[in-house]
Amino acid sequence: MKTQDFKDEIAIFFSEAYTLMEKKNADYADDGDPFKNFKMSRKVRVDPGKAILVRMSDKLSRAGNLLDRPAQVKEEAIKDTLIDIANYSAILNTYLISKHNKHNEKQSK
């Protein structure tokens, strides 16, 4: 693979990841709170940031299993799992930014 092919594949991956994030966020959250589904973890006394990490660990485990053997559900290829991992990383980063900004707003009042 040449460098340009590498860059093109990365661009395709992140474009697909962004498109999937938009669709899933519409299914799991709402316009007022993009982290709504993760905040449900508070009902069992788990910080939403930790809940996102748990979902990432599920996906990492799945990716490891898929490297060892093919998926039983053909529609769920390893690429889908890797996209989920990338999206959970971005979601966690954005959640932490949101939490930091909210903390700073409270401090400035």
pLDDT in tens, 60-104: 999 999 888 877 776 678 899 999 999 999 999 999 999 888 767
Say if residue 25 is exposed, middle or buried (CB neighbours under 10 Å; 0-12, 13-18, 19+): middle
Say what the pLDDT of residue 106 is: 67
Listing DSSP states for 54-101 in one string gives: HHHHHHHHHHHHHHHS--SSTTS-HHHHHHHHHHHHHHHHHHHHHHHH
In this prediction the pTM is 0.86
∠67-73-78 over CA atoms, to 5°?
A: 35
**13: Cα within 13 Å, side-chain hemisphere:** 16
- Domain limits of the chain? 3-108
